[in-house]
Chains A and B, each alone.
Chain A
């Protein structure tokens, strides 16, 4: 089972550049989430989706966009990257109120 797959694993961006973090899951989960993890700060929710075509903002959505055109994929778009977006990004999925499964993360540095 592949579970939740994130690409890329590492990326360095220059200020003002844009990029898309990819996330795909093969468990037919309806819920998908994007979190960022900063040292000592815990995980903060950026966006989440309860199903294809439905997305909603989390705690820290500014500077990000998402789409959910299929059950499997939930890409996160960064527009005009800023140093404050340097972080580790995690994608996760779950089926309803069941356990959440996480990807291995994308470590992003904005310079």
Chain B
């Protein structure tokens, strides 16, 4: 069974700092990996999708990388802003989506 782990569980940084969120998974036989953002009491918003054949994807200040062989993905957030405060979830796609428990990010003004 696929296991997805996200470290750290919580992170607090001052505004403007660059940061990295980590996601690891146990089974490298995946179709893709998706990063989501979840605001309190809200649904999941898709940030980036990396197909298994890709190494990275970029959207604005966000960059996600994928190393399938080592079972790792990172989400890099540049020049963090208070509006980035949320929980970030990664999900790997096998026959279904398997989710990590998320990293709760707080960006302090």
Contact = CB atoms under 8 A, between A and B. Distances in A.
Contacts, number: 50
Chain B interface, >50% SS class: strand
Contacts of A107: 41
Interface in B2-20: 4
B102 A100 contact: no
Contact of A101 (B42, B46, B91, B100): B46
Interface of B: 4, 31-32, 34, 36, 41-46, 49, 51, 89, 91, 93, 96-97, 99-102
16 contacts: A35-B99, A40-B101, A42-B102, A43-B89, A43-B91, A45-B96, A45-B97, A58-B96, A90-B43, A92-B44, A97-B51, A99-B46, A100-B34, A102-B44, A102-B45, A104-B42
